């Protein structure tokens, strides 16, 4: 797709991004030659993808932007190095703002990992983006997009990461932060699960990894080693210690901030046994 085509079919912002990404790809030509892996997060918002992405971006060999919506640019015909350049630029910008995120009631959180490599790499081996919900929705809406992504990344292995949190907490956070109804949050949450399951059936086993949010907080060093091994990079003890230091010791129980009816709790519980990665979760555990 040419710049003229992009400007004709998309808003000016996307046209500007096409040009900006093209300049970045040309300026950094050769820098992405060592990339072996492209990683996308899939699943649900409010599940812990941003913190995992921030810790991965702190790795010296990984560029991991937060919520770029990279597949939008694949759909628009951006080249491989343009997509890489956009993630690189967004990750650098987010590092300068200390990876701040807005929370409930205007509260902000910083996912900055002091002393590590957020926003900067010399020759990255892994590039990716952590916009989980939008990514899986795009793949569900346009199944051929997975094939287009593979074609755009010849010789590069694809990796998909899903961070799973207690569904009662995720659904509660969806309601508390957006004001949506229980019915709306419930429907979107399990619709995303259906989309993730459909995607997994099209992937090889080695291309998909599930990370438990609670397991990450309980033993961050082991979980980060597992994620890095999945992505094909090594991690040093200094990196692991720095990442572990920014995590809360226990997960936030957002479920306790919402007044559940018995029927609502039963609706969620009734879906859990049918989803392998959610078995073992409950309202009380």
pTM across the whole model: 0.92
Residue 142 or 8, more confident:
142
Neighbours of 199 (CB within 10 A): 21
Average pLDDT, the chain: 92
CA 70, 75, 76, 79 dihedral sign is positive
Q: Which residues of 59-80 are buried (b: 16+ CB within 10 A; e: fewer)?
A: bbbbbbbbbbbbbbbbebebbb
Q: Three-class SS of residue 108? A: strand
Rounded-to-integer distance, Cα 153 and Cα 142, Å:
18
pLDDT digits 0-9 by tens, 237-262 = 999 999 999 999 999 899 999 999 99
pLDDT digits 0-9 by tens, 59-68 = 999 999 998 9
Rounded-to-integer distance, Cα 98 and Cα 109, Å:
9
| Residue 7: predicted pLDDT | 46
Q: Tokens 């020759």 identify what position?
A: 123
Q: Is the pLDDT of residue 264 over 50?
A: yes
| Residue 34: predicted pLDDT | 94
Domain ranges (residues) in the chain: 3-258
Instruction: State phi, psi for 39 to the nearest 5 degrees.
Output: -120, 130
| Residue 4: predicted pLDDT | 47
Among 12-26, 89-103, 168-182, 248-262, whose mean pLDDT is lowest? 12-26
**Which tokens in the block code for residue 45?**
């918002």
Q: Using alpha carbons, select from 83, 179, 96, 167 the residue that is nearest to residue 129.
A: 83
Instruction: State phi, psi for 160 to the nearest 5 degrees.
Output: -120, 135
Whole-number Cα distances in Å, 66 to 10, 40, 160, 207, 242 = 22, 10, 14, 20, 19
Please check whether residue 25 is in contact with residue 82, taking contact to mean a CB–CB distance below 8 angstroms: yes
Q: Which run of H or of E encompasses 129?
A: strand 126-129
Alpha carbon distance, N-terminus to C-terminus of the chain: 50
- The pairs formed by 274-278 with CB atoms below 8 angstroms and a separation of 24 or more are 275/193, 275/197, 277/162, 277/164, 277/210, 278/164, 278/167, 278/193
Top CATH class of 3-258 equals: alpha beta
Residue 143 or 13, more confident:
143
């Amino acid at each position: 797709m040419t710049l003229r085509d992009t400007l004709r079919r998309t808003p000016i912002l996307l046209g500007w991004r096409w040009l900006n990404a093209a300049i970045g790809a040309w300026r950094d030509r050769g820098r992405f030659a060592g990339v072996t892996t492209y990683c996308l997060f899939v699943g649900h918002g409010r599940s812990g993808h941003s913190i995992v992405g921030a810790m991965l971006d702190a790795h010296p060999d990984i560029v991991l932007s937060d919520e770029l919506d990279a597949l939008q640019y694949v759909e628009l015909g951006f080249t491989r190095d343009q997509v890489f350049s956009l993630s690189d630029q967004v990750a650098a910008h987010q590092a300068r703002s200390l990876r701040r995120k807005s929370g409930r009631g205007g509260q902000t959180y910083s996912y900055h990992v002091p002393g590590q490599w957020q926003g900067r790499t010399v020759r990255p081996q892994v590039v990716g983006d952590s916009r989980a919900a939008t990514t899986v929705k795009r793949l569900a809406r346009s199944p051929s997009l997975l094939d287009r992504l593979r074609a755009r990344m010849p010789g590069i292995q694809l990796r998909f990461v899903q961070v799973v949190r207690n569904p009662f907490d995720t659904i509660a956070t969806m309601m508390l932060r957006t004001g949506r109804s229980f019915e709306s949050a419930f429907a979107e949450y399990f619709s995303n699960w259906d989309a993730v399951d459909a995607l997994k059936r099209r992937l090889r086993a080695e291309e998909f990894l599930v990370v438990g949010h609670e397991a990450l907080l309980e033993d961050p060093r082991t979980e980060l080693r597992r994620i890095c091994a999945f992505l094909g990079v090594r991690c040093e003890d200094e990196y692991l210690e720095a990442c572990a230091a920014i995590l809360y010791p226990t997960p936030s129980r957002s479920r306790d901030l919402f007044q559940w009816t018995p029927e609502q709790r039963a609706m969620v519980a009734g879906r859990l046994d049918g989803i392998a990665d959610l078995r073992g979760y409950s309202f009380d555990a």
